[in-house]
Every structure is written in structure tokens, then in C-alpha cells.
């Protein structure tokens, strides 16, 4: 027995025109989120999920990106409070 190949339909084929427009806008908006390489990995994966119509998978990856973003904010806030607003730290390491 050979393996069956599963072909995913694109979101344009899977959803009505109104939803297609919203998903297309989301895919475009994700290009504008941050310049961080880590964020780009997540946003490109979310874009791939949306393009394939895998909405639940896109939500799952999005929650991971949100967690990462909140952690980054937390670290930035700690640096801001401990170093009087000097966000560069110039090679200093926190212990």
C-alpha cells in the first residue's frame, strides 16, 4: 500500500470572500510586526498557517508569539527600572 498524499486547499478556496479578505489583511499585517529574527520566525509560521486555512494552528502559534512578546516586555521593564532607563546595558550581564 502506498501513502496517500493529502493536499491542503488554500484559504481562498476554503472560506467565503469576506473571511478571505480578513485573512489576507492579517497575512499582510504580520509583515509589519517587529524586526526581531525570533518574531519573524513566528510571524512567518502564522502566515503559512493562515495561507493554508489552518486557523486553529495559527491561533496556537500566535499564543506562543504573544507569550514571547510579554516576556520581552517584562525583561525590558526590569532593565528600565534597574538601570534608570539605560536600555543598552553596554555588555553588562544580570546575575
Could you please report the per-residue DSSP string of 73-92? HHHHHHHHHHTTT--SGGG-
State percent of the chain over pLDDT 70: 85
The total domain count for the chain is 1
Q: Band of the pLDDT at 44, cuts 50, 70, 90?
A: very high
pTM of the model: 0.75
In a domain, 2, yes or no: no
Q: Which domain holds residue 38?
A: 11-90
In a domain, 44, yes or no: yes
Q: Band of the pLDDT at 91, cuts 50, 70, 90?
A: low
In a domain, 1, yes or no: no
Average pLDDT over residues 21-44: 89
In a domain, 59, yes or no: yes
Q: What residues contact residue 79 under an 8 Å CB cut-off, 6+ apart?
A: 86, 87, 89
Amino acid at each position: 500500500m502506498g501513502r496517500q498524499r493529502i493536499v491542503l486547499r488554500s484559504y481562498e478556496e476554503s472560506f467565503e470572500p469576506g473571511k478571505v479578505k480578513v485573512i489576507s489583511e492579517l497575512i499582510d499585517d504580520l509583515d509589519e510586526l517587529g524586526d526581531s529574527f525570533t518574531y519573524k520566525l513566528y510571524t512567518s509560521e502564522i502566515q503559512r498557517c493562515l495561507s493554508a486555512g489552518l486557523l486553529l494552528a495559527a491561533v496556537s502559534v500566535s499564543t506562543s508569539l504573544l507569550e514571547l512578546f510579554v516576556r520581552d516586555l517584562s525583561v525590558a521593564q526590569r532593565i528600565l527600572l534597574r538601570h534608570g532607563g539605560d536600555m543598552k546595558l553596554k555588555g553588562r550581564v544580570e546575575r
